[in-house]
Amino acid sequence: MFLRSLHLVVFALFISLAATAQNVDLFSEKTNSTNSDITTGTFKSTRIVNGQSIENVGPGVLDFKIMHRFGPLSDGGYNFFGLDQATMRIGLDYGITDRLMVGIGRSTFEKQYDGFLKYKIIRQQQGQRNIPFSLSYASSFVYKSLHDAVTTYTPYVSDKFSFSHQLLLASKVNDYFSLQLSPTLIHYNMVDTKTTPNDFYSLGVGFRQRVSKRVNITTEYYHRFNSLEGHYDPLSVGVDIETGGHVFQLHVSNSTGMTDRTFINETSGSWAKGDLRFGFNISRVFTVRKPKELRNIKW
């Protein structure tokens, strides 16, 4: 299974770089980046809606993030259009370097624990090197701690794990529009039936459209090439509002879960059937470790 995951990553990396291979020297990108203008603000948060964006938190920065999803709007007034129900993920993200970011989280949905890392391979830039896109690799795990129904088989702890591998290929076309593609592999250590595959493939598409200086429209969609029966492709539409250096994200989505496994592969709601949920993401950042250039400054 590991080889299949590795093949997907290598194949997607080859495809994404092929068109610009003649003009981009990847080794020069690393050595000459100090003489180039690195593109920032491709997206306004480390998440487009549910999925990872190309953005990282800065080195030494801790991001306390709350992702909140209410019940179906179609429940009507009795459940106050879904507001009587709630699903939540609390997470901590940390920037180890300007390229490497890690995070952990806990979701009320299926009592999941998750962790991830995200590494910037290529950074979009202009100047001595002209690179029109950014490329990151993201990998995550999910542990489902929800107690299973009593069966004749007692699952091992490892059976409750699933993993995802993603390449995040993004470009800030201009100050008003950004686009990202996210080829994804999700692997289940254990599935329900012998005919159900352990590996699922999908392609995510996300974009940001600037409306004003502080407001952006975001959209995120994943097309699944193979899927679990009875589930739908996830589609989320949101509004990002910048408030004093922070971003408050409001969105509508047909997914309940907020981990890669659950929102990409296990979305049971359908836009066509009106099974939509209102939600929001909010974060608070803390500087845990000052950058080297600021350590000797007395405030």
Q: Enter the DSSP assignment of 52.
A: B
For residue 7, name the pLDDT band (cuts at 50, 70, 90). Answer: very low
Q: Which two tokens stand for residue 222?
A: 């994943």
**pLDDT at position 157:** 83
**Beta strand extents in the chain (DSSP E only):** 36-38, 61-72, 86-95, 100-107, 112-122, 125-127, 134-144, 161-174, 177-188, 199-210, 215-224, 235-243, 246-253, 277-287
Q: Is 60 exceeded by the pLDDT of residue 138?
A: yes
Q: Is 70 exceeded by the pLDDT of residue 297?
A: no
CA atoms lying within 13 Å on the CB side of residue 234 = 31
Calculate mean pLDDT across residues 52-68: 94
How many helices (DSSP H) and strands (DSSP E) are in the chain? 3, 14
**pLDDT at position 152:** 65
Task: Report the predicted TM-score, pTM, of the whole model to 2 decimal places.
Answer: 0.83
Residue 88 to residue 16: CA distance in whole angstroms: 34
Q: Enter the DSSP assignment of 131.
A: B
Tens-place pLDDT, residues 146-170 = 877 666 677 788 889 999 999 999 9
Residue with tokens 């920065």: 61
Nearest to 249 by CA among 80, 110, 67, 82: 67
Contact 186, 264 (CB under 8 A): yes
Tens-place pLDDT, residues 224-236 = 999 888 899 999 9
Backbone angles phi, psi at 292, to 5 degrees: -55, -40
**pLDDT at position 295:** 55
Calculate mean pLDDT across residues 264-271: 92
**pLDDT at position 181:** 98
Contact 23, 250 (CB under 8 A): no
**Beta strand extents in 59-196 (DSSP E only):** 61-72, 86-95, 100-107, 112-122, 125-127, 134-144, 161-174, 177-188
What would be the CATH architecture of the domain defined by 2-146+155-290? Beta Barrel (2.40)
Domain ranges of the chain: 2-146+155-290
Residue type, 159: D
Tens-place pLDDT, residues 160-196 = 999 999 999 999 999 999 999 999 999 999 888 888 8
